[in-house]
């Protein structure tokens, strides 16, 4: 079963969030803790990391897209 890559709850309701960069491509192996995607908000960026070892199975939200807290950005097939 795939593991979702989810934007964490940051307490930034109403702030615009955007996917700025994916560090990995679909099919690429990842290790728990690897940076997967960079998210941008006004004045700062932060990274979302892999929660498990596996393979990036899907990118559901492309670079430049607006996103919200709790939204699924992609999926990992666990190893």
Q: What is the pLDDT of residues 12-22, one digit of tens each?
A: 777 889 999 99
Whether residue 26 is predicted with pLDDT greater than 90 in this model: the reply is yes
User: SS3 sequence, 36-67?
Assistant: EEEEEECCEEEEEECCCCEEEEEECCCCCCEE
Per-chain mean pLDDT for the chain = 95
Going along the chain from its start, the domains and CATH numbers come out as 3-78 (2.40.50.100)
Residue 49: predicted pLDDT: 98
- Cα torsion for 50, 61, 22, 78, to the nearest 10°? 30
Distance in angstroms (rounded) separating the CA atoms of residues 10 and 56: 24
Read off the pLDDT band of 5 (50, 70, 90). very high
For 50-70, b/e burial (b = at least 16 CB within 10 A) is bbeebbbeebebeeeeebeee
């Amino acid at each position: 079963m795939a593991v979702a890559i989810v934007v964490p709850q940051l307490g930034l309701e109403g702030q615009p969030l955007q996917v700025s960069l994916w560090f990995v491509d679909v099919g690429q192996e990842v290790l728990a803790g690897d940076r997967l995607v960079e998210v941008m908000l006004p004045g700062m960026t932060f990274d979302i990391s892999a929660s498990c070892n596996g393979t990036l199975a899907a990118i559901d939200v492309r670079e430049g897209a607006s996103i919200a807290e709790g939204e699924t950005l992609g999926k990992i097939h666990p190893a």
